[in-house]
């Protein structure tokens, strides 16, 4: 790598213990190398032919300064870009106004490009302002308790394992400590009468006559109800 170098090539110092192929691969993967190639190519109309090795070393110096929190070069670059974008906005807006009366499509295209340049200029200035004065972030503290939580909604001062007496049942009291008068016991009602058995019904043979079986069941239930009421009345007479 040492010796005379052709124009537009990069010259680097060989490292001991590192092969030539590995060193070339490291240079090719260096993001500053690709940026130096693009910047030198686009910068030829302004600065002419520049030594590529010096260009690459200057890029490394600027990157090293930014890593050390020296943002002078970054601030200068953003300021220059904002000024250039503002110049583009003014020129494009002028061309849009020149075509406004006769060529409406060209005027619309120029105006769209002018507004894009204006938006980029504003974003560049916002980035520059954030570098100069970083925004302050206010974070509220979250009250988060890890693990299970217990909420006691009972009486204050009582322990969890204490035995408390059950409160008196006040549903059967008119005043505290006085029970309601049960009055005289009513007459006893006779026991349930024997229900009349319902005749056996063959479901397989009488499947189509289900509507006819329902009146028979209802008549049996009515007869059983009549016998029950008669038994209740006889028991009441016997008690009198």
List the chain domain ranges.
Answer: 1-70, 71-133
Computed on alpha carbons and rounded to an integer, the radius of gyration of the chain in Å comes to: 51
Q: Give the H or E element holding residue 98.
A: helix 72-98
Give the length of the chain.
Answer: 240
pTM: 0.48
Predicted local distance difference test score (pLDDT) of residue 199: 57
% of the chain exceeding 90 in pLDDT: 22
The arithmetic mean of pLDDT across residues 152-175, rounded, is: 57
- Of residues 233 and 133, the one with the higher pLDDT is 133
Q: Is 114 buried (19+), middle (13-18) or exposed (0-12) by CB count in 10 A?
A: buried
Predicted local distance difference test score (pLDDT) of residue 191: 56
- Of residues 22 and 193, the one with the higher pLDDT is 22
Average pLDDT, the chain: 74
The arithmetic mean of pLDDT across residues 147-158, rounded, is: 61
The arithmetic mean of pLDDT across residues 2-25, rounded, is: 76
Q: Predicted confidence band at 20 (pLDDT cuts at 50, 70, 90)?
A: confident
Q: What is the pLDDT of residues 58-95, one digit of tens each?
A: 888 988 998 888 888 889 999 999 999 999 999 999 99
Alpha-carbon gap, residue 18 to 101, rounded angstroms: 67
- Of residues 69 and 190, the one with the higher pLDDT is 69
- Of residues 200 and 32, the one with the higher pLDDT is 32
**50 near 43, Cβ under 8 Å?**
yes
Q: Predicted confidence band at 143 (pLDDT cuts at 50, 70, 90)?
A: low
% of the chain exceeding 70 in pLDDT: 54
> 87 in helix, strand or coil?
helix
Predicted local distance difference test score (pLDDT) of residue 6: 62
Alpha-carbon gap, residue 228 to 194, rounded angstroms: 8
DSSP lists the bridge partners of residue 178 as 175
For the chain, where are the E strands, in sequence order? 173-175, 178-179
Predicted local distance difference test score (pLDDT) of residue 45: 79
- Of residues 134 and 150, the one with the higher pLDDT is 134
Predicted local distance difference test score (pLDDT) of residue 240: 46
Predicted local distance difference test score (pLDDT) of residue 123: 96
The arithmetic mean of pLDDT across residues 230-238, rounded, is: 51
Q: Which of 23-27, 84-88, 122-126, 214-218 shows the lowest per-residue confidence on average (mean pLDDT)?
A: 214-218
Q: What is the pLDDT of residues 96-139, one digit of tens each?
A: 999 988 899 999 999 999 999 999 999 999 999 998 888 777 76
């Amino acid at each position: 790598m040492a010796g005379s170098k052709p124009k537009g090539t990069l010259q680097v110092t060989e490292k001991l213990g590192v092969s030539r192929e590995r060193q070339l691969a490291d240079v090719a993967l260096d993001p500053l190398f690709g940026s130096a190639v693009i910047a030198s190519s686009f910068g030829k109309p302004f600065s002419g032919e520049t030594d590529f090795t010096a260009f690459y070393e200057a890029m490394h110096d600027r990157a090293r300064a930014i890593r050390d929190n020296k943002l002078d070069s970054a601030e200068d670059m953003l300021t220059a870009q904002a000024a250039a974008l503002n110049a583009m906005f003014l020129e494009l807006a002028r061309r849009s106004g020149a075509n406004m009366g006769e060529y409406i499509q060209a005027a619309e295209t120029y105006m769209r490009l002018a507004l894009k340049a204006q938006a980029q200029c504003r974003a560049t200035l916002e980035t520059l302002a954030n570098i100069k004065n970083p925004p302050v972030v206010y974070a509220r503290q979250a009250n988060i308790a890890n693990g299970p939580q217990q909420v006691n909604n009972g009486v204050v001062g009582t322990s969890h394992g204490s035995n408390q007496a059950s409160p008196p049942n006040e549903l059967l009291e008119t005043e505290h400590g006085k029970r309601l008068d049960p009055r005289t016991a009513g007459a006893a009602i006779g026991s349930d009468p024997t229900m009349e058995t319902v005749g056996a019904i063959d479901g397989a043979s009488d499947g189509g006559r289900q509507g006819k079986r329902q009146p028979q069941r209802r008549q049996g239930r009515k007869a059983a109800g009549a016998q029950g009421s008669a038994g209740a009345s006889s028991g009441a007479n016997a008690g009198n």
